[in-house]
Amino acid sequence: MNKNGNIMLGWIVVLVAMMGMGCSRNADAEKEVKLIRPVRYVTVARSNPVIEKTFSGMIIAGTSVRMSFKVSGTIDKIPVNVGDTLSKNDLMAILDPVDYRLKIEAARATLASTEAQSRNAAANYKRVQALYENKNVSLNDLDASRAAAESAAAAVKAVKKQLTLAQNQLDYTRLLAPADCKVAMVLSEQNENIAAGHPVVVVNYLDALEVKVALPASVISQLCDGDEVNVSVNSVGMNHIKGVVTEVGVASTLLQTTFPVTVALNKVQNSLRPGMAADVTFNLSKPGDKTVLMVPPIAVGEDRNGRFVYVVLPDTDGTGRVEYRAVTLGGISEHGLEITGGLVPGEKIVTAGLSRIVDGLKVKI
């Protein structure tokens, strides 16, 4: 090979070497980009803490009435069964009315007799009055006839009241529904002799349902009448029933350490029944509560120095570097951890992969 050929071959070797170096640099750059770890983050912000607690209770009827007769007697018929829906004045039970009808007939007969006696006494008083005007009878005779007439008239009024009472007692032998309601229990049977006031049927009004809940002393002081709550009844698949606190107990019941709370349901659902179990969620946070920094629990790590987070310091090219930051924790709830020191609103903290991150590591946001 001549001299010119050797020179040409040297240049070719140099060019190939330079191309190899360029490709190597590009590959290293691409490899470096691929090695930058991507991270997820959240931005720290202040908010009112939402403190919710759920307690179990039982649905009860807003108004439950034990219906009974005002008079005693023998039950002739109970035409209702448990679960029946009744309208106002529907018949629920009836007593044997025979004795009360006889009392009415006796009162009517007594009334007829006293009315006859009253008419006779009134006529006699008129005759004596005429004789007295002619000075044929004494003043004592006039006074006696007038007293007899007034007594007979009073007796008529008394018997009329007895007749009205007998009629009322006959009406009381029919037990009627006081309003639209549902039969909850039937406590008596046909042909049973019962006294006045003995419960026969228990009815629940359909216009309202309530939930009774027992709350511990640590919570009861935070509730007020009118607080809105959320009620869930899992047995019928209803999870978002709105309710309002109507009663907050001021004393524990039966030597227990819990206090009774009553929640009225805003809208009665046909599928709800008294006796069903219900979960009531109370929002214990108040509008005047201070705002706090809340972060996800997964964003907080712990080492021998205590609790920490990784703060992301972003660059302009979509990457950034992480900074180890010790933090102080406050309260904990189902909504996250409260940060009382070490962070300020607006900072970004890593929420995934803390175990594979070190202080100063370059990351892809």
Residues 131 and 163 in one domain: yes
Residues 343 and 311 in one domain: yes
Which of 76-80, 299-303, 317-321, 352-356 is least confident?
352-356
Per-residue pLDDT, 149 = 92
Nearest to 236 by CA among 277, 207, 202, 206: 277
Residues 226 and 249 in one domain: yes
Residues 90 and 180 in one domain: yes
Per-residue pLDDT, 18 = 47
Residues 238 and 355 in one domain: no
Per-residue pLDDT, 192 = 93
Which tokens go with 335? 């909504």
Per-residue pLDDT, 23 = 46
Q: For the chain, give the percent of residues with pLDDT over 90.
A: 38
Which tokens go with 325? 């930051």
Q: Is residue 133 part of a domain?
A: yes
Q: Is residue 131 part of a domain?
A: yes
Per-residue pLDDT, 173 = 95
Residues 214 and 276 in one domain: yes
Q: Is residue 217 part of a domain?
A: yes
Which of 22-36, 106-120, 279-293, 338-352 is least confident?
22-36
Per-residue pLDDT, 32 = 44
> Would you say residue 319 has pLDDT above 80?
yes
Which of 16-20, 74-78, 260-264, 309-313 is least confident?
16-20
What region, left, alpha or beta, does residue 353 occupy, with left being phi > 0 and alpha being psi -120 to 50 degrees?
Answer: left
Of 73-87, 249-263, 294-308, give the range with the top mean pLDDT.
73-87
**CATH number for the domain harbouring residue 182:** 2.40.50.100
Average pLDDT over every residue of 109-138? 91
State the CB neighbour count (10 A cutoff) for residue 141: 14
Which tokens go with 81? 């069964």
pLDDT bracket for residue 16 (50, 70, 90): very low
Residues 183 and 163 in one domain: no
Q: Is residue 5 part of a domain?
A: no
Residues 138 and 200 in one domain: no
Residues 198 and 89 in one domain: yes
Question: Tens of pLDDT along 262-317?
Answer: 998 877 667 788 888 999 998 876 555 566 788 888 888 888 889 999 999 988 78
Nearest-angstrom CA–CA distance, 89 and 70:
16
| Cα torsion angle, 19, 22, 28, 29, sign | negative
Question: Tens of pLDDT along 118-129?
Answer: 999 999 999 998
Residues 180 and 87 in one domain: yes
State which of 223, 255, 283 marks the end of a domain: 283
**CATH number for the domain harbouring residue 107:** 1.10.287
**CATH number for the domain harbouring residue 236:** 2.40.30.170
- The domain total for the chain is 4
Per-residue pLDDT, 250 = 82
Nearest to 345 by CA among 49, 46, 41: 46
State which of 283, 307, 336 marks the end of a domain: 283
Q: Is residue 155 part of a domain?
A: yes
Residues 179 and 304 in one domain: no
Q: Which domain holds residue 161?
A: 98-171
Question: Tens of pLDDT along 32-42?
Answer: 444 677 888 88
Residues 83 and 136 in one domain: no
Taking all residues of the chain, what is their mean pLDDT, rounded to a whole number? 83
Average pLDDT over every residue of 337-350? 88
Average pLDDT over every residue of 244-272? 81
* Residue 229 near residue 170 (C-beta atoms within 8 A): no
Nearest-angstrom CA–CA distance, 325 and 347:
11
Question: Tens of pLDDT along 159-178?
Answer: 999 999 999 999 999 999 98
Which tokens go with 285? 């946070």
Q: For the chain, give the percent of residues with pLDDT over 70.
A: 84
Of 2-11, 49-58, 114-123, give the range with the top mean pLDDT.
114-123
Q: Is residue 299 part of a domain?
A: yes
Greater confidence (347 vs 287) lies with: 347
Nearest to 273 by CA among 106, 104, 85, 112: 85
Average pLDDT over every residue of 1-16? 50
Q: Is residue 2 part of a domain?
A: no
Per-residue pLDDT, 24 = 45
- Write the secondary structure of the chain as one string of H (helix), E (strand) and C (coil): CCHHHHHHHHHHHHHHHHHHHHHHHHHHHHHHHHHCEECCEEECCEECCCCEEEEEEEEEECCEEEEECCCCEEEEECCCCCCCEECCCCEEEEECCHHHHHHHHHHHHHHHHHHHHHHHHHHHHHHHHHHHHCCCCCHHHHHHHHHHHHHHHHHHHHHHHHHHHHHHHHHCCEEECCCCEEEEEECCCCCCEECCCCEEEEEEECCCEEEEEEEEHHHHCCCCCCCEEEEEEHHHCEEEEEEEEEEECCCCCCCCCEEEEEEEECCCCCCCCCCCEEEEEEECCCCCCCCEEEECHHHCEEECCEEEEEEEEECCCCEEEEEEEECEEEEEECCEEEEEECCCCCCEEECCCHHHCCCCCEEEC
